[in-house]
Amino acid sequence: MVMLRKSDNQPITSRFGEAVWLNSFITPDSPDVKLKHQELVRGFDTVDERIAALWNYVAQIPYTRTVSAKLIIEGQSRSQGDTWLFPSEIITLAPKANCANKSFLLTSLLRNELPAHQVRCVMGHIRMDGIGAHAWCEVSPHGNPYILETTVTDIRRALVPTGYAPEYEPVLYLTDMGIDVVDESEGIGIIDERFGYCAVEFLREYLCERCINLLG
């Protein structure tokens, strides 16, 4: 059983040198997020179907290890080689997204379906032939928690009970309501690793045999 403790919010300098609070990347109340949520769930009656529709939208956004961006104001510019985007920016601007950006977006969309204790963005490690920083979602609409992986496009491989995937090592759980860190972990240490550099190709094979179909 994972033991968690509350953590103070953390300032993140992943946007052109500007300090941004970590949980400001989870934005369920953003107008763009709310409108996209309404568009995506229209016509679906059950919460499982709506979760699947939201996941599918995010999963279909092409994955990239890093997102480069440039901010230009009145002829002055700043560049960021590995940029964390707000969900509204992904919806309206970004043709690709990394694991952190995808997880921020999906968590924000899902928060319009589920309370904060049933959906969280998770930041941590994946261990498989080495170790890499990674971000994913965790959902528990019916009580038991599941990893909801945003970097694969097959729902049968993307949804897996947390206990079935020991390669996933959570360090920090994030919602718009606050931050929890795994006991004995230093949240700021994993944040500083930036989450953009984990190769996730193995997921396509590993999750194939340990998956659960969300729609039954």
Mention every residue, 6+ apart, whose C-beta is less than 8 A from residue 138. 119, 120, 122, 145, 146, 147, 148, 162, 170, 173
pLDDT at position 209: 54
Between CA 215 and CA 24 the distance in angstroms is 31
Tokens of 146: 């599941």
- pLDDT above 50 (res 13): yes
Which domains, from first to last, does the chain contain?
A: 10-209 (3.10.620.30)
Of all residues in the chain, what percent carry a pLDDT higher than 70? 82
109 vs 216: which has the higher pLDDT: 109
Mention every residue, 6+ apart, whose C-beta is less than 8 A from residue 199. 65, 132
Which of 16-20, 121-125, 127-131, 177-181 is predicted least confidently?
A: 127-131
User: How much is the average pLDDT of 86-110?
Assistant: 94
- pLDDT above 60 (res 190): no
Asked if 27 contacts 15 with a C-beta cutoff of 8 angstroms, the reply is no
pLDDT at position 203: 56
Which of 28-32, 80-84, 97-101, 113-117 is predicted least confidently?
A: 80-84
61 vs 183: which has the higher pLDDT: 61
pLDDT at position 195: 41
pLDDT at position 107: 98
Of all residues in the chain, what percent carry a pLDDT higher than 90? 41
Cα within 13 Å of Cα(135), Cβ side = 29
CA nearest to 165, candidates 118, 206, 121: 206
What's the per-residue H, E or C state across 30-65? CHHHHHHHHHHHCCCCCHHHHHHHHHHHHHCCCECC
Q: How far is Cα of residue 68 from the mean position of the Cα atoms in its chain?
A: 18
CA nearest to 66, candidates 89, 84, 49: 84
pLDDT at position 177: 92
Tokens of 177: 């309501």
CA nearest to 160, candidates 175, 145, 141, 172: 145
